[in-house]
Structure 1
Amino acid sequence: MDRMTRRTFLGAAATTAAGAAAGPWVLRAQAQGGPVKVGILLPYSGVYAVLGESITQAMELVFARESWTVAGRKIELIKEDTEAKPPVGIRKADKLIDSDKVDILTGPVHSGVLMGMRDKVHNSKTILIVSNAGADVISRERCSKWIFRTSFSNWQPNWPMGGWVAKNVSKEVFLVAPNYQAGKDMMTAFKETYLPAGGKVVAEDYPKLSETDYAPYLTKIKQSGAKAVYAFFSGSDAVNFVKQFDQFGLKQSIKLTGAGFLTEPDVLPAQGRSALGVITGHFYTPLLDNPVNKKFVADFKAKFGGKTPDGFAVQGYDTAEVIVRALKAVNGNTQDKDKLVAAIARTEFDSPRGRFRFDQKSHNVIQPFIYIREVKEVAGGLDNVPIDKVADVTDPGTGCTLPA
Structure 2
Amino acid sequence: MSPLKIGLLAYNSSVYPHAHHDFVNGFYAALPSQIARGHFQFIPEYIKAPTVAHVKESAQKLVGFDQVDILSGLINYKAVPDIVPLVERHKKIAFFYDMGELIPYTQHISNHVFFNSFQYWQSEYALGYWAFKEFGDKGSVVMSLYDAGYHLQSAFRQGAIAAGSQEIDYCVLHDNPTQSQVKDKARLLLEKFKTTLPSFIHAIFCGSEVFEFLEEFNQSGLKGKIPLLVTAHMASEEMVSQVANMGISMYAASMYNYYSPDKLNLQFKLAFEALTGRKANAIALMGYEMGLALVQLLPELQKRDWPTIINLLKKETVRSPRGERNFYLDSDYAIPTIDIEKIEVRNQRINKMIVAQGKALKYNHYIFEEIHRENVTGWQNPYLCV
C-alpha deviation, 1:284, in angstroms: 0.6
Q: Hey, what does 2:157 align to over in structure 1?
A: 191
Alignment counterpart, residue 322 of structure 2, candidates 327, 340, 353: 353
- Taking the aligned partners of 1:236 and 1:81, their CA distance within structure 2 comes to 23
C-alpha deviation, 1:137, in angstroms: 5.4
C-alpha deviation, 1:397, in angstroms: 5.9
User: Is the 8 Å Cα contact of residues 153 and 395 (structure 1) preserved in structure 2?
Assistant: no
Alignment counterpart, residue 388 of structure 1, candidates 347, 353, 356: 356
Q: Which amino acid aligns with 1:147?
A: V
Counterparts in 2 of 1:185-264, with a 5 A limit?
185-199=151-165, 200-205=167-172, 207=174, 212-214=180-182, 215-224=184-193, 225=196, 226-264=198-236
SS at match of 2:83: helix
Unaligned runs of 5+ in 1: 1-32
What TM-score do you get using the length of structure 1 for normalisation?
0.75
Residue by residue, what CA displacement relative to the aligned partner does 1:309-356 show, whole Å, maximum 9, x if unpaired? 23332222112211222334x25233x322211121222222011222
- Taking the aligned partners of 2:222 and 2:109, their CA distance within structure 1 comes to 41
Q: Which amino acid aligns with 2:84?
A: V
Alignment counterpart, residue 308 of structure 1, candidates 273, 276, 279: 279
- Taking the aligned partners of 1:191 and 1:91, their CA distance within structure 2 comes to 36
Alignment counterpart, residue 282 of structure 1, candidates 231, 248, 254: 254
- Taking the aligned partners of 1:106 and 1:205, their CA distance within structure 2 comes to 33
Residue by residue, what CA displacement relative to the aligned partner does 1:222-280 show, whole Å, maximum 9, x if unpaired? 41422322233334443443334324444343322132111211222222244842211
C-alpha deviation, 1:357, in angstroms: 3.0
Q: Hey, what does 1:332 align to over in structure 2?
A: 302
User: Is the 8 Å Cα contact of residues 115 and 328 (structure 2) preserved in structure 1?
Assistant: no
Q: Which amino acid aligns with 1:93?
A: A
Q: Which amino acid aligns with 1:333?
A: K
User: Is the 8 Å Cα contact of residues 337 and 358 (structure 2) preserved in structure 1?
Assistant: yes
- Taking the aligned partners of 1:166 and 1:228, their CA distance within structure 2 comes to 9
- Taking the aligned partners of 2:123 and 2:176, their CA distance within structure 1 comes to 20
Residue by residue, what CA displacement relative to the aligned partner does 1:146-181 show, whole Å, maximum 9, x if unpaired? 222222445322111111011123422222334458
User: Which one is further off, 151-160 or 281-290?
Assistant: 151-160
User: Is the 8 Å Cα contact of residues 285 and 384 (structure 1) preserved in structure 2?
Assistant: no
User: Is the 8 Å Cα contact of residues 121 and 127 (structure 1) preserved in structure 2?
Assistant: no
SS at match of 2:249: coil
* Cα pair distance change 1:65/1:390, threshold 3 Å: farther
- Taking the aligned partners of 1:136 and 1:396, their CA distance within structure 2 comes to 13
User: Is the 8 Å Cα contact of residues 162 and 193 (structure 1) preserved in structure 2?
Assistant: yes
- Taking the aligned partners of 2:25 and 2:347, their CA distance within structure 1 comes to 25
User: Which one is further off, 96-105 or 49-58?
Assistant: 49-58
C-alpha deviation, 1:115, in angstroms: 1.6
- Taking the aligned partners of 2:145 and 2:239, their CA distance within structure 1 comes to 20
* Cα pair distance change 1:207/1:184, threshold 3 Å: farther
SS at match of 1:266: helix
Q: Which amino acid aligns with 1:316?
A: G
* Cα pair distance change 1:164/1:122, threshold 3 Å: farther
User: Is the 8 Å Cα contact of residues 341 and 353 (structure 2) preserved in structure 1?
Assistant: yes
Determine if the alignment matches structure 1 residue 127 to structure 2 residue 93.
Answer: yes
- Count of residue pairs the alignment pairs up: 358
- Taking the aligned partners of 2:68 and 2:176, their CA distance within structure 1 comes to 30
Determine if the alignment matches structure 1 residue 292 to structure 2 residue 264.
Answer: yes
- Taking the aligned partners of 2:286 and 2:280, their CA distance within structure 1 comes to 10
Query: Identity rate of aligned residues, in percent?
Result: 20
User: Is the 8 Å Cα contact of residues 268 and 275 (structure 1) preserved in structure 2?
Assistant: no
* Cα pair distance change 1:56/1:254, threshold 3 Å: farther
C-alpha deviation, 1:389, in angstroms: 2.0
Q: Which amino acid aligns with 1:100?
A: D
Q: Hey, what does 2:7 align to over in structure 1?
A: 39
- Taking the aligned partners of 1:101 and 1:83, their CA distance within structure 2 comes to 21
- Taking the aligned partners of 2:316 and 2:351, their CA distance within structure 1 comes to 31
C-alpha deviation, 1:59, in angstroms: 2.0
SS at match of 2:8: strand
C-alpha deviation, 1:136, in angstroms: 4.0
What TM-score do you get using the length of structure 2 for normalisation?
0.79
Q: Hey, what does 1:9 align to over in structure 2?
A: none
* Cα pair distance change 1:378/1:57, threshold 3 Å: farther
User: Which one is further off, 44-53 or 265-274?
Assistant: 44-53
Structure whose CA Rg is larger: 1
- Taking the aligned partners of 1:248 and 1:51, their CA distance within structure 2 comes to 34
* Cα pair distance change 1:65/1:84, threshold 3 Å: farther
Q: Which amino acid aligns with 2:87?
A: S
- Specify which structure has the bigger relative contact order, considering alpha-carbon pairs within 8 angstroms and separated by 6 or more residues: 2
* Cα pair distance change 1:267/1:104, threshold 3 Å: same
C-alpha deviation, 1:213, in angstroms: 4.0
